[in-house]
Amino acid sequence: MRFLVFLSSVLWCFSAFGTEPKSAVVDDSLLTELAQSSLWLDLLHYHQIGVISPNESQIDDSKFFLSPQGMLDPKAELLATLTAFQTPFLGEDVNDASQCRYPARLSWLKEQHLGISFIEPNCPEFQDWYGKLNGESIYLVFPAAYLNSPSSMYGHTLLRIKKKGNNSPLLDFAVNYAANADPNDNQLVFSYKGLTGGYPGVVSVTPYYEKVKEYNFLESRDIWEYKLDLSQQEVNQFIRHVWEVRNTYMEYYFFSENCSYQLLAMLDASSERLNTTKNFNYWAIPADTVRELKNAGILQDVSYRPSVVAQMGHMLEELTDEQIVEVKALVLNEQLSLEGLLDFTEDEQAQILEVAYQYSRYLSAREKSTLDYLNSRSIKLLSLRSKYDTTSAFLPIPPPEVRDDEGHKTQRLGLTVGETEGDYFTQLEYRPSYHDLLDSKGGYLEGAELSMFSGTLGVREEDSLRVEEISFINIRSLAASNALVIPKSWQINASLVRDFVIDDALVFRLKGGAGVTEKVSNHLFSVLINGSASASDKYQDTYQQKYKVQVGPQLQWLYSGDIHCLMASYEYLDDVDHHAKSLEIGKIEWSYLVDSDWQVRAKLEQQKQDGLKQNTTQLSLLHYF
């Protein structure tokens, strides 16, 4: 009798969860078609980007695949998946079952109507996680560029999953893809590994308020949010796919397989109608990926979240000098005294306390201030501010007229004609990305300049084609100071350039500097101290060594209008080893925006060193694409 009961139990179990591994017969031509379908390839992350693009999955973790050939053969992975979904799981933890590990694959294969009865065990870990997210819609989140971090110089994108019934975005969850970097690596090592795929890229799901704090507050970056036009089924499939890839890794590349590109790939895996990665063959700039989603017609509502620094700057425009003095006293004095507030009206007091609260938080977090009392001071200032009836002490901060995804396109091609000391020349310039100070400013960080791996070819009279310049990296950050915050302005450039002192020989030059910038209306005034080091065999005759090192000041003025930009600068560089050999460079540059894709520029430049002088006049036509 006991044997019959035992046998009945075993038979019941097999009837519920399947019997022997048994795959339904599916026509091989249909399997081949399914294996090459866009959604199956997207689920396996079969995409091609880069100079050399092998036909394989971009997921580099072998544990992601059920077939040993799955990374290279999508059909082999399809067959292994079909078999696994029809085979009873015999392990100890049902959460390790293939159906629980790959819910997006299971959902998609069920929709193919293959005539297969898949085993669908209960997956408690996935169901708990899926219910916790409870996704209703998805928002693309675009924090603006942040030049002080190599991985965020071009901006960043992540996705926010809106929870059903939740109207507080900060309580939603964020899906982020980033390099899992070694915290002990310095910026140089970090940049090298990021360029060469030296870090694993990982997908993480975290509370959204943590990301807002990181980008909006600690890094002082404006944030744009775009609601995506996705159906509930597409939202659900996206969440399922996030579960599939959350514990895997992909080699991270700053310019190609980066945060923005991999998020597009995950969206593609969630919808039959999306193929947003197709146009990114070599690199993926975050702003360009936003434009791609716009072209796909799935960007809807747009919202703007200004950074803490932007908020403070806007508030300071409404404060008097006396109010600003009181703000500093409330925050910087170790002993809090409220006597100074009595000199102001109630509305003015509310303004002072609100700015003081923001300023104390900024100093405590962003500047990593050593003033131990600031955390408790912030809470005290917030408590004092809450006691005033004035609900809105300041006018709302208006969003920028041009969003970050609406600025000029990031690639640029330029044709230049000019004359240097009676020698006429023609030049062709290509810049893969991204922006300089004379480009149209809409949608870009004010006072910022960033480009990498750009170059210029030139032809002079009776000369053959030659390289005029190759710029490996060029960054300028002229962040304007205000009454409370004085950010450092800085610049760095590593290039192969022509040096007129040694008959236009091509030299390697590393140049950088730091200083301060003040803003008046649309004008930026900068003062910097620069250092420059150049190396070439040609220096031997002039300097008795194969290099020269120079140090000196630079004065710069930049006017940025909507159509016209004008920049003038003067730089004096004194040679460290030969003080008689000083270099002076004066420039005036003007740009005119013809339309969103075309610009005209003119430049006058004079360089002088030890009796040598070189004057250059040139006119350029630039196309953005």
Question: pLDDT (tens digit, 9 = 90+) per residue, 243-254?
Answer: 999 989 999 998
Mean pLDDT, residues 312-326 taken together: 95
H/E stretch holding 529 reads strand 523-535
Q: Are residues 442 and 507 in the same domain?
A: yes
The 10s digit of each residue's pLDDT in 149-167 is 766 788 899 999 999 999 9
The 10s digit of each residue's pLDDT in 49-66 is 866 667 799 999 999 999
What is the DSSP code (8-state) at residue 81?
H
Give the count of domains, the chain.
Answer: 4
pLDDT classification of 580: cutoffs 50, 70, 90: confident
Q: Are residues 467 and 561 in the same domain?
A: yes
Burial class (CB in 10 A: 0-12, 13-18, 19+), 64: buried
Q: Are residues 55 and 108 in the same domain?
A: yes
Q: Are residues 327 and 353 in the same domain?
A: yes
Tell me which residue range forms the domain holding 90.
Answer: 2-119
- In this prediction, residue 55 carries a pLDDT of 79
Q: Are residues 336 and 294 in the same domain?
A: no
Cα distance between residue 357 and residue 116, in whole Å: 62
- In this prediction, residue 51 carries a pLDDT of 64
In a domain, 455, yes or no: yes
Q: Are residues 26 and 113 in the same domain?
A: yes
In a domain, 310, yes or no: no
The enclosing domain of 434 has a CATH number of 2.40.160.40
| Lowest mean pLDDT, pick from 13-27, 185-199, 399-413, 522-536 | 13-27
Final residue in a domain of this structure, among 94, 119, 144: 119
Q: Are residues 356 and 478 in the same domain?
A: no
Among candidates 298, 289, 235, which has minimal Cα distance to 257? Answer: 289
In a domain, 260, yes or no: yes
- In this prediction, residue 3 carries a pLDDT of 37
Q: Are residues 115 and 140 in the same domain?
A: no
Torsional sign, CA 33, 36, 38, 42: positive
| pLDDT tops 80 at residue 584 | yes
- In this prediction, residue 26 carries a pLDDT of 76
Q: Are residues 209 and 256 in the same domain?
A: yes
In b/e form, how buried is each residue of 125-136, taking b as 16+ CB within 10 angstroms?
ebeeebeebebe
Cα distance between residue 351 and residue 360, in whole Å: 14
Count the neighbouring beta carbons within 10 Å of the beta carbon of residue 322. 13
SS3 labels along 334-387: CCCCCHHHHHCCHHHHHHHHHHHHHHHHHHHHHCCCCCCCHHHHHHHHHHHHHC
299-305 and 223-228 strand pairing: antiparallel
Mean pLDDT, residues 196-225 taken together: 88
- In this prediction, residue 270 carries a pLDDT of 97
- In this prediction, residue 4 carries a pLDDT of 38
| pLDDT tops 50 at residue 467 | yes
Mean pLDDT, residues 416-434 taken together: 95
Final residue in a domain of this structure, among 386, 415, 437: 386
Cα distance between residue 36 and residue 265, in whole Å: 16
- In this prediction, residue 579 carries a pLDDT of 65
| pLDDT tops 60 at residue 18 | no
Q: Are residues 138 and 102 in the same domain?
A: no
Count the neighbouring beta carbons within 10 Å of the beta carbon of residue 28. 10
| pLDDT tops 60 at residue 478 | yes
In a domain, 311, yes or no: no
| pLDDT tops 60 at residue 450 | yes
SS3 labels along 16-40: HHCCCCCCCCCCHHHHHHHHCCHHH
Cα distance between residue 409 and residue 390, in whole Å: 43
The 10s digit of each residue's pLDDT in 367-381 is 566 778 888 999 999
| pLDDT tops 60 at residue 453 | yes
Among candidates 232, 246, 252, which has minimal Cα distance to 178? Answer: 252
Q: Are residues 190 and 329 in the same domain?
A: no
H/E stretch holding 313 reads helix 308-316
The 10s digit of each residue's pLDDT in 490-512 is 999 999 999 999 999 999 999 99
pLDDT classification of 366: cutoffs 50, 70, 90: low
Query: Tokens in use for 291?
Result: 């434009």
- In this prediction, residue 42 carries a pLDDT of 97
pLDDT classification of 217: cutoffs 50, 70, 90: low
Cα distance between residue 393 and residue 350, in whole Å: 6
Cβ contacts of 83 within 8 Å, gap of 6 or more: 21, 23
Cβ contacts of 238 within 8 Å, gap of 6 or more: 135, 138, 230, 266, 267, 269, 270
In a domain, 95, yes or no: yes
In a domain, 395, yes or no: no
Q: What secondary structure does DSSP assign to 377-444, as a single string? A: HHHHHHHHHHTSS-S--SPPPPPPSS-GGGS--S-EEEEEEEEETTEEEEEEEEE-SEE-TTS--TTS
Contact 385, 315 (CB under 8 A): no
- In this prediction, residue 369 carries a pLDDT of 65
Final residue in a domain of this structure, among 53, 86, 119: 119
| pLDDT tops 90 at residue 603 | yes
Plot region of 187 (φ>0 → left; ψ -120 to 50 → alpha; else → beta)? alpha
The 10s digit of each residue's pLDDT in 83-124 is 999 999 999 999 999 999 999 999 999 999 898 899 999 999
| pLDDT tops 80 at residue 279 | yes
- In this prediction, residue 10 carries a pLDDT of 35
Average pLDDT along the chain: 91
- In this prediction, residue 7 carries a pLDDT of 38
In a domain, 496, yes or no: yes
In a domain, 125, yes or no: no
- In this prediction, residue 572 carries a pLDDT of 97
Q: Are residues 134 and 112 in the same domain?
A: no
